[in-house]
Structure 1
Amino acid sequence: MSYPKPERGIWTDQPASCWEDALVSGNGRHGVLVYGDPIRDVLIGNHCRLYLPQGNSYQLPDLAPFLEEMREIIQKKGYKEAIAYHYVKAKIQGYQGLTMSDPSHPGFHLQIETDHHYFENYHRSINYQTGELVIAYDEKEQSYIRKTFVSQKSNQIFHYLSSGTYKIKIEDYQNQYMSQVVTIYEQTMHIHFDYLYGDGGYDVMIKVTGDGITPLSNRKGFELRSEQAFLISMEIIPYSNPDKRGIIKLDKLKEKSYEALFLEHQVIHQDMFDRVELSLSSDDQRKRSIWELVAEAKGQNRMTPVLLEKMYDAGRYMFICSAGELTPNLQGIWTGTFHPAWSGDFTFDTNVELSIASALSSNLLEGLEGYFRLIKELMPGFRENARFYYGARGVMASIHSSNSGKHVHWNQEWPLHLWTCGAGWLAHWYFQYYRFTGDQLFLEKEVIPFLEEVVLFYQDFLIEDPTGVFRFSPSYSAENGAADNATQDVAVAKEVLSNLIESYQLLNYPKEKICQCEKMLDKMPSYQINEDGALKEWLTPEQEENYNHRHFSHLYPVFQSREFNEETDPIMWKAAKTAFEKRLEAWLLNEEGDTSSTHGRMHSALCATQFHMPDLIEDIFRLLIKNNCFYSSLIMSHYNEQEIFNVDGNGALPQVVHEMIIDYSNDRLTILGALPKSIPYGEIRGVRLSKQITVHKVVWDINKKRISLELESPIQQKMKLYVPLFPQAKHHQQWFSLDQNKRLHLEIEW
């Protein structure tokens, strides 16, 4: 029997042998993984709130009294001695050393066993457009189907089993950090979990609807036997303490079929997915199996249009599934292990920022609500970090967080507590949300208060050189070394102050507030250029450049804040591009590079869009394919060869696509600024840009030398058209106006 193949999604005829290769779905609160084979499938339920307390201390050492002495050691002996001094002072106070955040963990494993001994015509698929997972196969000339989705309507996981004989069993986790009790009554299984090193826990309710349902003898599952289909409804409810335990009621679903429940969900999910559409291929191409498409791309040694379209869709699908109550963590909203890499937490020195990179431009604005909620929940810890480490008001973000915003993830080898620009980088998305929406209430109630807390930290933390220029000391360029005045520290502070000034001006705040920020901005260190002609990563002479590294922190003014470009500051732009090229030579395009991180490749691509380097984007896409950096779901891996399930690359890839097709900053609209030769024609619809611009469509055909563009804005504004790859194009470098609420059509030819 043949089964429908999703056009916007993936399918394969190969079962999944590990959870990382599972089918995935989610609704921003619950997630589900489905893997295995028809003889023994496994459903793993996930929830965005499940982080397992390990009993670690989150008491911060009070190092503020030693800050001045540490600074003196930095000046006289250097950072190695200063960090050692700091660490000794911390240990004397009982600091336990580098501590991982509480890890993300699965909520339950539900095993589904059959009496089958073989199967054929196997097919499993994800429909990105609807969020439905399908497994279908034949056994003894009979067809079976299993379908799963996570409802955007009722916030539950639903699984459909066609008629047959099954055993469903809950796995006993036997975990030293929590207790598990299973209770069965009628057709419902209740699993209660208490955290042994924390006040919280969670409950799982699994209800089976259908005929022929009998509890297993061990009372940890059911035997199902019927000529009618079964519906399994699953829900996880975490609680912060026993008094806040929720009561889960699944009876309300008794009268609804799988189809009715799915249709209610589909309307919501598909509305979000369909807001933006990239078209590079045909329907026939889209229906090919994912591994056939990958093999074709490997054979051609390049990203093919249809595979790029699939990966683009996968990135937006990841965000829709993972962003809701909170923001995606390192693994989105999914895990099948109690020991995920880096705790599967919220890592703020590049990963969270990449995972949300395309949220605004993909018109998934509601997805950032969980990001803002998470930051608000972590703020008490962020304030303690500022006070205990630097005696400062305001906030200092941790690099790793889950249940707490307190920063205990550091030691002598990894002095991550010296990285003070994290809160400022997080603030970027607050002001960007305003720029995309024009929401002045959000600007007043959320953006300005957060920016002010970041500036409070700078007011207390920054010191002045004899010349009156601010000095960031201590300072750290993420995971690449410590030296005063890391370029990213300066770039982030400049962006924070500039955005706060603009916010004050927009809402007519007193001039004194604006002047105070302007004075701070005037005292910022100038960027520096080294003997290679490259923008320096540290603005002090004692630290040498390390080009062989996966982080691109010093290029923050290029890929994130858009502080300057080739027109506004050509000298610094050239230096930044030289620094980028040095990184490419030593790391990205060097087979002996220090690691193979996907997040480094994505930041490379985001820089390449700004430097108008389409061939480099081709190389980055090719590296992802060549080195097997994604699973069958198209969720990416952190390293080559499918090592470590990680979603930051998924979140960033749609933004790379948007920027290489249409991009806006500094009053300049860039068209096809980094379009690879491998996609000579295509269409994109629905992209959002800064300053409230909606891109109704961009249609291009390089062979016909034609671009069609349709824009709209709710506000009157002017911008300059820029077509860097085709400078002979009509309207290139010309200014034009967007009239309020009127669509603008442009035909660009050359």
Structure 2
Amino acid sequence: MKTLIENRIWYKQPASVWEEALPLGNGRLGAMVFGGIETERLQLNEDTLWSGVPKTGSNPNAAALLPEIRRLIDEERYEEADRLCKETMGSYTQSYMPLGDLTVTFQHGDLATEYERKLHLQDAVATTSYKIGQVKYRRSCFISYPDQVIVLRLEADRQNALNFTVRLDSRLKHRTGTDGDFFVLAGECPSNVDPNYYRTDNPIDYSESGMLFEGRLGLSLEGGRSYVDHDGIHVVEAAAATLVFSAATSFNGFDRHPRTDGIDPSPLTERYVTNALAKNYEELLQSHLDDYRPLFKRVALSLGDAGLSPDLPTDARVAAYGAQDPKLVELLFQFGRYLLIASSRPGTQAANLQGIWNKEIRPPWSSNYTLNINAEMNYWLAETCNLSECHGPFLDYIGNMAKTGAVIARENYGMRGWVAHHNSDIWCQAAPVGAYGHGDPGWASWFMAAPWLCAHLWEHYEFGRDVQFLRSKAYPVMKEAAMFCLDWLIEDAGGYLVTSPSTSPEHKFIGPDGKKTAVSKAVTMDMALIRELFTNCIAAMGLTGEDEAFRERLEAARERLQPYRIGKYGQLQEWFMDFEDEDVHHRHVSHLYGVYPGSELTEQAAPEWFAAAQRSLERRGDEGTGWSLAWKLNLWARFGDGNRAHNLIGNLLSLVDSDKEGVTGGGVYANLFGAHPPFQIDGNFGFTAGVAEMLLQSHEGMINLLPALPDVWPDGEVSGLRARGGFEIGMSWREGALVKLVLLSVSGGACTISAGVPLMLQGADEAASKELQLVTEAGRLYTFVAG
């Protein structure tokens, strides 16, 4: 399966801003490579480098205020309830920090020709090449997961032509110096960063002890000579050099103080760099490729060829063609998979709002974990796009959140189980954020993060069918989340079980008094999430044979949950009453959760509600921020409208100028990072999930092939996508119809396939059918052809 642009992002000029630089990562270490000529800059990150220390953020006043808030809501005094909710909040989350910069200054000037800068997705290697005079210079950079180092290879095609100085710096409080042949950067994080003022010049607070960190740089030289001093490492008249960098922090767990109970980062960095320097460059590169390539190559995609010029640099290609170019769609799809591999590997932290790439001490929205859509969207692609291992850090994070969330459930609300709200950080803060009275209930007073997070535990089981994972890791966390929901639900006047207070994330309604407010009860998303959690817990109990009495209680409660309602516009209501929207085109589509990423609302199971949900999405429109466009893309795929989904791809594959302030629409920057704006990585991940959802769906108990294929992709092929039940899918289509299917049964068991065209098992005597049912054997490959 070939592609004209060969899974590469490339340019004819260096990056002038961060949003043009190329991202590299191994899950723990990150770098943005600028590819400058006279000066190369690698902006560095380490995934545990956060401000602050563990704090619960609990607010014991919340339990005392809860009955009064509920009374005000019942009396339709929503604005007063909104104000009172502010008094239930805790502290703000902390911020993800930039480590610093690795800067190489060359002594060859900047009058270059034949310049090219590339990111090779299939290898996870960034290269820069150019000529100065008659000398060809080349740089190659990658970040090794096996060796836990950043490797920067510098080469000249003539002896004695390589002269440079390399040093480390940081915007955080730090010092630099030498340690033998190493150049070392050591520093500390601020104890607190106010997330509300990321664009101000207020002083950073180092008044308390924060995270310690260290970066260490070493060198392997070919020809010439080198020396290290307080200015960095200097190389004179070499032919080639390999720079090796690693970093570590004092982070020792989400519940341990990074100073009083932290670890010493220095032995870690010394071991990583020393061990890496014991290998030559070719050995380091091969180890990296052997680790990375098997992950990336699991999925291949070809959407045909529109006959457009393959020779345009990536930024110019996006500007010229956008979604008209199926090769760009393929590229952006694979870029999402690349970014997840680069920012989420076993043993690392979960990918945050910017993956692992951040240059700001006050990053937008703290570059934290926003749990009312964004953190979850980061992992929508993990199972379908064959990167289940990369889901692991997020699943681990959910388990940690359950521990801090149990404290908040008890201390804030006097309830069992665990709860989490809309924001969190590396310390797994579970309280509603708002600086004890100054937050906005429109986002902070949302109590349903735990059910949404638990959906990822269930999805991981659904795709892998690992009952031991379900029994030992997933179900215990799911059960505790369900226990909180049981305690949180109250009976309303109609006899339904409802949530109160309740908000639809970040959206407000216009109440009977004409005022905009956020707090009411029983919003649609709340009820959908709880219903899904109860359903998944019941299914898990059936598989593990546990908790029969608890199962009966969940079944009884599920039957009493307030059902969906249809409003005056034929839309699925977002709130328990048919309120008017504050903004009919609002970026959040939370009330459509039951369509995607949930699976409760389908055309077959709930046709009336399914149609009302589609009407809601039509009213929202096709504009939005980057991640909002990605969510709508996935929804239109679930609605089976491939052409409308492709329209959303067109909006996403539009070039955003990083220098323009006040841009409200989504799209991509020159380096294909998703634009909120500013940069948020969820749009990239959500896009990749959406393309997969257009080609393959498995949420209705069957494998549905090409459910939302747009007219502009009449011919294509894909391999390596995964379906629920433990199946891996490869298929090809011509003129919009499936012609071949290859199915690998990983787990064995029954399988139903819906193809849209008659299929027959190759070599079998059965007649062709549009819907096939078979019992599969684990590890066996099945090939079907159009009959």
Maintained 8 Å contact 1:382/1:398: no
1:289 corresponds, among 301, 313, 323, to 313
Give 3-state SS (helix, strand or coil) of 2:538's partner. Answer: helix
Change (3 A) 1:439 1:747: same
Matching residue's letter, 1:688: R
Equivalent of 2:756 in 711, 718, 723? 723
The aligned counterpart of 2:732 is 699
Q: Specify which of 120, 123, 133 is matched with residue 126 of structure 2.
A: 133
1:712 match: 744
Residue 561 of structure 1, CA deviation: 1.6
| Equivalent residue, structure 1, for 2:646 | 618
Do residues 688 (structure 1) and 726 (structure 2) align? no
| Matched position secondary structure for 1:445 | helix
Question: Against the structure 1 CA distance between its residues 18 and 186, is the aligned structure 2 distance closer, same or farther, given a 3 Å change threshold?
Answer: same
Contact kept? 2:497, 2:560, Cα under 8 Å: yes
Relative distance call for 1:536 and 1:748 in structure 2 (3 A) is farther
Shift in Å at residue 371 of structure 1?
0.5
**C-alpha separation in 2, matches of 1:456 and 1:721:** 37
| 1:292 to 1:269, Cα distance in 2 relative to 1, 3 A | same
Partner of 2:209: 198
- Shift, 1:184, TM fit: 0.6
Cα pair distance change 1:426/1:66, threshold 3 Å: same
SS in structure 2 of the partner of residue 308 of structure 1: helix
Of 485, 490, 502, 1:475 maps to: 502
Please give the per-residue CA displacement for 1:563-608, whole angstroms capped at 9, x wherever unaligned.
1311112111111111111112xxx25xxxxxx3111101101110
Question: Quick one: which of 700, 706, 716 aligns to 1:666?
Answer: 700
Query: Pairwise mapping of residues 116-515 of structure 1 onto structure 2 (< 5 A)?
Result: 116-163=109-156, 164-173=162-171, 175=172, 179-195=173-189, 196=206, 197-210=208-221, 211-216=224-229, 219-240=230-251, 241-242=258-259, 244-246=263-265, 247=267, 248-249=270-271, 250-281=273-304, 288-298=312-322, 302-324=323-345, 325-404=348-427, 405-410=429-434, 411=438, 413-481=440-508, 482=518, 483-515=520-552
Letter aligned with residue 331 of structure 2:
K
Q: State how far apart, in whole Å, the 2-side matches of 1:473 and 1:25 are.
A: 44
Matched-pair contact (CA < 8 Å) for 2:169–2:185? no
Q: Gapped runs of 5+ residues in structure 1? A: 590-595
2-side partners of 1:239 and 1:663: how far apart?
Answer: 43
Equivalent in 572, 576, 599 of residue 613 of structure 2: 576
**Residues 30 and 412 of structure 1, relative CA distance in 2, 3 Å threshold:** closer
Q: CA deviation at 1:544?
A: 5.3
Cross-structure match for 1:593:
none
**Does the Cα contact within 8 Å between 2:442 and 2:505 map onto a contact in 1?**
no
The 1-side partners of 2:448 and 2:606 are apart by: 24
Identity across the alignment (%): 24
Native 8 Å contact 2:304 2:715 kept in 1:
no
Using the TM superposition, give the Cα deviation of residue 389 of structure 1 relative to its aligned residue in structure 2, in angstroms.
3.4
Shift of 1:619: 1.3
1:668, distance to aligned residue in structure 2 (A): 2.9
One-letter amino acid of the counterpart of residue 537, structure 2: L
Q: Are 1:50 and 2:49 counterparts?
A: yes
Q: Is 1:631 paired with 2:663? A: no
What residue number does 2:159 align with? none
For 1:340 and 1:305, locate their aligned partners in 2 and report how far apart those are by CA, in whole Å.
Answer: 34
Deviation at 1:693, TM superposition (A): 1.3
What residue is the counterpart of 2:255 in the other structure?
none
| Cα deviations by residue, 1:189-211 (Å, 9 ceiling, x for unpaired) | 12211334334211111112224
In 2, Cα distance between the equivalents of 1:222 and 1:510? Answer: 63
Mapped to 2, the partners of 1:369 and 1:56 lie a distance apart of 25
Alignment match of 2:633 (pick from 598, 605, 621): 605
Corresponding residue SS for 2:397: helix
In structure 2, the gaps of 5 or more residues are 157-161, 190-205, 252-257, 509-517, 657-666, 760-766
Residue aligned with 2:530, SS = helix
- Asked whether the 8 Å contact 1:73–1:79 carries over to 2, the reply is yes
Aligned to 2:711: 677
Three-state SS of the structure 1 residue aligned to 2:568 is: coil
Q: What do the CA deviations read for 1:365-416 (whole angstroms, capped 9, x no partner)?
A: 1111111222233333322332343222211113222133132423454443
Give 1:311 deviation, angstroms.
0.4
Q: What is the CA–CA distance in structure 1 between the aligned matches of 2:524 and 2:423, rounded to whole Å?
A: 22
Query: Contact (CA 8 Å) 1:48, 1:326: kept in 2 or not?
Result: yes
* Cα deviation, residue 258, structure 1: 1.5
**What CA deviation, in whole Å up to 9, does each residue of 1:666-718 have, x standing for no partner?**
223322211122211111001111111111x1101116x55211213232214
Aligned-pair CA distance for 1:725: 14
Match among 515, 520, 533 for residue 557 of structure 2: 520
Native 8 Å contact 2:402 2:477 kept in 1:
no
1:156: how far off? 0.8
CA distance in 1, matches of 2:569, 2:344: 42
Deviations 1:443-478 (A, max 9, x none): 001111111111111121111124431021100101
Q: 2:244·2:277 contact (CA, 8 Å) conserved in 1?
A: no
- CA shift for structure 1 position 89: 6.7
**Which of 30-39 and 498-507 deviates more?**
30-39
Q: Secondary structure at the match of 1:708?
A: strand
Moved more, 254-263 or 735-744: 735-744
